[in-house]
Structure 1
Amino acid sequence: MNNRLVIISNISTSLINFRGELIKKWIDLGYEVYTLAPGYNDNHKEILESWKAKTVEYNLNRSGLNPFKDLKSLINLSNKIKEIDPDYIFSYTIKPVVFSSLISKQIDLKGMYSLIPGLGYAFNDGGLKNKIVNKVAVFLYKISLSNNDKVFFQNPDDLDLFVSLNLISKDKTVLVNGSGVDTEKFYNTDPQKEKISFLIMARLLKSKGIKHYIEAARIIKKEYPDVEFNILGSPGSGPDAVSLDYVKKADQDNIINYPGRVEDVKPFIAKNSIYVLPSYYREGTPRSILEAMSMGKPIITTDNPGCRETVNEGQNGFLIPIKNHKILADKMRYFIENKNEIVRMGKKSRKIAEEKYNVHRVNQKIIQEMNLE
């Protein structure tokens, strides 16, 4: 019988978009892979099952701190895992990591592994609610991670924070270069330096820098009315959401173009000149930046955990302070006035994507650390 490997996510989309190549590699190596997620749609199930993965649904209250709902989710997940009787567990995002790590203490495994793909709202600076969420998150990680054989981190800031808080011992940590990017799928493209355009791909959230992007666009539009600013992404929700009316008004005023969310981002990346992500969210390593780099685009992003690792200052783009639309506008202006830099920095982005962020190299490191070959 093949070894059974369970991968646990908080949403089925990410199993395909962020872990697809890893799942396929595990299956190629002969492992019987079970994907656990709440709320599969038929398309996601069909894709995963076409790879020969076995899809299992479990109940999860993805956000919020309702202890009764979370206990119910924990029991439900525990039952599903015990039915499968896996040899290995690989989980990512806070609730799957905490729940599966606690469950792993009760069952016999060859290996328990977790991935921390950024810290999100739990470790963002904020008011009283954020502080409470932070305290709860730290406590949950502290009681659960000790049973992990390895914990993977996508940036050194997160790794150092977990070690400094005594959530995990240093010898159990592994640093990987984000989720990686398929450099063949996200092919190299010609630099777009004649008609300059900027692109951001993100949910409409304040912490993703959507407002700062739009306000920087307002400044540049007064000086260079022909320059385009594009936004791709679904509407946000909760207190961090940017008003859809605000974005649509900016679209009506010809400040930005907002087509909403699209399934295939590649044509949009290809036709834009520079990729921008002025995020102050606690990212792991933003996949959107890696996709833009792979397609040969210069990057403007923040000197913020997860984002800063993607840019060699002045080589493939620029790092800017968080929450500063004026400096963002300055860097945008630089590319408009120095078009040849779009070519030079775009080539460097592609080179970094190939050498550092190639998804197959990233996955190979994970597989080696899990001792699966």
Structure 2
Amino acid sequence: MSDRKKLKIAFVSNNAWSIYNFRIDIIKMLIADGHEILIITPNHAIVEKVLALGCSHIAIDFDNKVINPFTDLKFLMNLKRLYKKVNPDLIFHYVAKPNIYGTIAAHRNGIPSVAIITGLGFAFSRKNLLYFIIKQLYRFSLNGAKEVLFLNNEDALLFVRERIVPLHKINVLPGEGINTAYFHPPAVRKKNPTFQFLMSCRMLKSKGVEIFVEASRLLKLKEYVFESVVLGFFEENHPDSIAPSKVQQWQSQGLINFLGFKEDVRPFLANADVFVFPSYYNEGVPRSLLEAASMELPIITTNNTGCRDVVEDGVNGFLCHTQDPFDLAKKMEEMLLLKEQDLKQMGHKGREKVVSRFGMDKVIHEYRRIISLI
């Protein structure tokens, strides 16, 4: 790599955990290529692991969930000053506020930047005032980006149709990639004494947690014996957040086994029989689905943007209707009634799909392509 130009590259996001969890392989590749990597996020315990990779870190404070013109203007000015001071050669922005205000700050400092739209999220869930504000902010800011990357074609098409971003600036990544060597199926998958459905997500209503609970209730009324396990963490002050007391109530009723946040989900994926993700959130390509499929789990998910990119109905899992616990219960019942060999075959097909379409090497190729243009 000695003939390749060495750059100072910044990654800017709303939390260090997502940078470490989703982009660690990209960062390792860039460091191996000789680039200097700067992470700009709020402080988090996992920052120590980011630093151990050989990156540097600068802490910034902002709330990605609330739009306040005064705090947002302050965030923009802080980024503008910071970018001028550290003067990176290229900046990758993730999530809404860095994509909007970070792109403006980079453009005004003459620094090339790339906006990565990992999903349209809560703001695009309904056409209300928030939607129109965010759309106008994106339209104004993303004009200054070198490229705008999406994780699925549907989100990219929406931005083109709404004239938010010109087509020539857009490219679509194969999700955020998955390290299929790290998320590898166990050599021998132990057979559970009780059939286990597993869900892993942020504890938001639109991720379909309540739908999963109600579907489990419906199946238990039919006297099926199974366990519904949920992994996840709560997001304080998020308008779509589920109250911890509600989850405790479901737990006490025996509807789910809530295990909280787990830094390493692989042991739980290895122990489950089927992965369930009934999301009606505006997903990019859900990382949880890629992890589950890579570990050869059959999947039940919704016929929803991003989700249907990972699951082919009847091949590596089932697609169900959004916000429909009855249809989800039907698909869970079908999984319960499948022969063990059929479940294994679905799992094999899922891993084949992830390896061929969503492997990390394909995402790394796109990052290197962008860097080569600087």
1:176 & 1:266 partners in 2: Cα distance?
Answer: 24
Deviation, 1:163, is 0.6
Map Cα deviations across residues 282-334 of structure 1 (whole Å, 9 max, x no partner).
Answer: 11111111110111001111111111111111110111111001110111111
The one-letter code matched in structure 2 to 1:74 is: L
SS of the residue corresponding to residue 5 of structure 1 reads strand
Match runs of 1:64-143 below 5 Å: 64-109=66-111, 111-125=112-126, 131-143=128-140
SS of the residue corresponding to residue 297 of structure 1 reads coil
User: Aligned pair 1:21/2:25, yes or no?
Assistant: yes
SS of the residue corresponding to residue 202 of structure 2 reads coil
Match runs of 1:244-263 below 5 Å: 244-263=244-263
Farther off after superposition, 321-330 or 59-68: 59-68
2:64 & 2:49 partners in 1: Cα distance?
Answer: 23
Q: Which residue of 1 aligns with 2:289?
A: 289
Farther off after superposition, 251-260 or 197-206: 251-260
SS of the residue corresponding to residue 18 of structure 1 reads helix
User: Aligned pair 1:163/2:160, yes or no?
Assistant: yes
SS of the residue corresponding to residue 328 of structure 1 reads helix
2:191 & 2:330 partners in 1: Cα distance?
Answer: 18
1:224 & 1:361 partners in 2: Cα distance?
Answer: 45
Map Cα deviations across residues 321-350 of structure 1 (whole Å, 9 max, x no partner).
Answer: 110011101111111111232111011111
* Preserved CA contact (<8 Å) 1:191 1:296: no
Q: Which residue of 1 aligns with 2:221?
A: 222
* Preserved CA contact (<8 Å) 1:61 1:73: no
1:236 & 1:50 partners in 2: Cα distance?
Answer: 27
Deviation, 1:104, is 2.3
**TM-score, structure 2 normalization:** 0.93
* Preserved CA contact (<8 Å) 1:299 1:311: yes
SS of the residue corresponding to residue 188 of structure 1 reads coil
- Identical-residue share of aligned pairs (%): 33
1:294 & 1:224 partners in 2: Cα distance?
Answer: 31
Distance change in 2, residues 1:192/1:222 (3 Å): farther
Q: CA RMSD in A?
A: 1.8
The one-letter code matched in structure 2 to 1:335 is: M
1:105 & 1:265 partners in 2: Cα distance?
Answer: 38
Q: Which residue of 1 aligns with 2:181?
A: 184
Distance change in 2, residues 1:236/1:73 (3 Å): closer
Deviation, 1:262, is 1.7
Q: Which residue of 2 aligns with 1:347?
A: 348
Match runs of 1:256-271 below 5 Å: 256-271=256-271
Map Cα deviations across residues 239-283 of structure 1 (whole Å, 9 max, x no partner).
Answer: 422232332222222221112212221111111011011001111
SS of the residue corresponding to residue 35 of structure 1 reads strand
The one-letter code matched in structure 1 to 2:93 is: S
For structure 1, the residue ranges without an aligned partner over 5 or more in a row are none
The one-letter code matched in structure 1 to 2:109 is: I
Map Cα deviations across residues 134-182 of structure 1 (whole Å, 9 max, x no partner).
Answer: 1111111111111222111001111000111111111211111111111
2:96 & 2:66 partners in 1: Cα distance?
Answer: 12
What is the count of residue pairs matched by the alignment?
A: 366
* Preserved CA contact (<8 Å) 2:199 2:275: yes
* Equivalent of residue 149 in structure 2, options 149, 152, 170: 152
Farther off after superposition, 249-258 or 236-245: 236-245
Deviation, 1:372, is 6.0
The one-letter code matched in structure 2 to 1:204 is: M
Deviation, 1:117, is 0.3
* Preserved CA contact (<8 Å) 2:301 2:320: yes
SS of the residue corresponding to residue 185 of structure 1 reads coil
1:210 & 1:40 partners in 2: Cα distance?
Answer: 26
SS of the residue corresponding to residue 233 of structure 2 reads coil
1:7 & 1:261 partners in 2: Cα distance?
Answer: 24
1:364 & 1:344 partners in 2: Cα distance?
Answer: 30
The one-letter code matched in structure 2 to 1:151 is: V
2:298 & 2:43 partners in 1: Cα distance?
Answer: 37
Q: Which residue of 2 aligns with 1:30?
A: 34
Farther off after superposition, 208-217 or 197-206: 197-206
* Preserved CA contact (<8 Å) 2:64 2:96: no
Q: Which residue of 2 aligns with 1:59?
A: 61
2:107 & 2:252 partners in 1: Cα distance?
Answer: 55
For structure 2, the residue ranges without an aligned partner over 5 or more in a row are none
SS of the residue corresponding to residue 19 of structure 1 reads helix
1:170 & 1:305 partners in 2: Cα distance?
Answer: 20
* Preserved CA contact (<8 Å) 1:59 1:76: no
Deviation, 1:358, is 1.4
1:192 & 1:293 partners in 2: Cα distance?
Answer: 17
* Preserved CA contact (<8 Å) 2:107 2:145: no
Deviation, 1:224, is 4.1
* Preserved CA contact (<8 Å) 1:191 1:297: no
Q: Which residue of 2 aligns with 1:309?
A: 309
